[in-house]
Amino acid sequence: MAELRISGLRAGVAGKEILRGVDLVVRSGEVHAVMGPNGSGKSTLTHVIMGRPGYEVLGGSVTLDGTDLLGLEPWQRAAAGLFSAMQYPTEVPGVALADVLEEALVAVGRGGGDVRGRMRAEAERIGFDERFLDRPLNVDLSGGEKKRNETLQLAVLQPRIAILDEVDSGLDIDALRLVARRVEAETEERDLGVLAITHYRRLLGELRPDVVHVLSRGRVVARGGPELADQLEATGYAGYAEADGEQR
């Protein structure tokens, strides 16, 4: 049983406070959705939890099973069982995906397995063309292919908690279904805990959330079951204050 606990988290970029006290707990097997208008701080939340350089923590804490994540390097957070599927995966010329996954697995003492075989099996499961496995990481992949690539990495690395940052953007409806089902299967078979950050409801049609959090101006302003997402679909975010701009 894993537990990601975010308490009173305040963070910013370049002296500007974006997260103004976020509280959120994700446990194994649960799916949490964080929804909110542009500029509400959704992406900042992902980056701060994972430790992206350039973000400043101003207060609060993030722990995974009691371990203070904010004091760890990004790779150590990953080694602790955290994975973040990025909204805009970075192109890394000349670097093969298999080498990256092997290094990551070796770092946590899970090296030596048939990484390539697992990559191929996962690729087939989410309709990711095998040809892409030998391409340099994310180079010349379309937006949707990059998202599938993130999902494949999640499945091979087998984290305990995964943050999906707008994993739905760029995916057509069929790909969205495959990706969402793949993540859902992880929650059922391996008890993966998921924090899915999304602007739109469509991901949540496939990946059923247990809890929906609405983020606005850096705070969780509403919390509810899946029906909250349906309600947002109908009313939009008009009822929630728009923020004054967000980085990234």
What residues make contact with another protein under the rule CB under 8 A? Answer: 50-53, 73-75, 77-79, 83-84, 86, 89-95, 99-101, 103-105, 107-108, 136-137, 153, 157
Name the token pair of 220.
């969780």
> In the complex, what is the shortest distance from the CB of residue 93 to another protein, in angstroms, rounded to a whole number?
6
Smallest gap from Cβ 209 to another protein, in A, equals 23
Which CB atom, from 15 or from 53, has the smaller least distance to another protein? 53
Residue where the block lists tokens 């990953």: 78
Between 99 and 129, whose beta carbon lies closer to another protein?
Answer: 99
In the complex, what is the shortest distance from the CB of residue 169 to another protein, in angstroms, rounded to a whole number? 18
Rounded to a whole number of angstroms, the minimum distance from the CB of residue 232 to another protein is 29
Task: Give min distance, CB of 137 to another protein, in A.
Answer: 8
One-letter amino acid for residue 53 of the chain: P
Phi and psi torsions of 208, nearest 5°: -70, 120
Minimum CB distance to another protein smaller for 90 or for 188: 90
Please say whether the beta carbons of 44 and 19 come within 8 A. yes
Residues in CB range of 145: below 8 A, 6 or more apart: 128, 129, 132
Using alpha carbons only, what angle is made at residue 229 by residues 224 and 234, rounded to the nearest 5 degrees? 125
CB nearer to another protein: give 99 or 174: 99
Beta carbon nearer to another protein, 13 or 100? 100
Give 110 or 223: the residue with its C-beta nearer to another protein: 110
Rounded (to 5) percent helix, strand, coil in the chain: 35, 30, 35
C-alpha span between 148 and 80 (Å, rounded)? 23
State how far the Cα of 148 lies from the Cα of 110, in Å rounded to an integer: 23
In the chain, what is the straight-line distance between the N-terminal and C-terminal CA atoms, in Å? 33
Q: What residue type is assigned to position 169 of the chain?
A: S
Shortest Å, Cβ 174 to another protein:
26
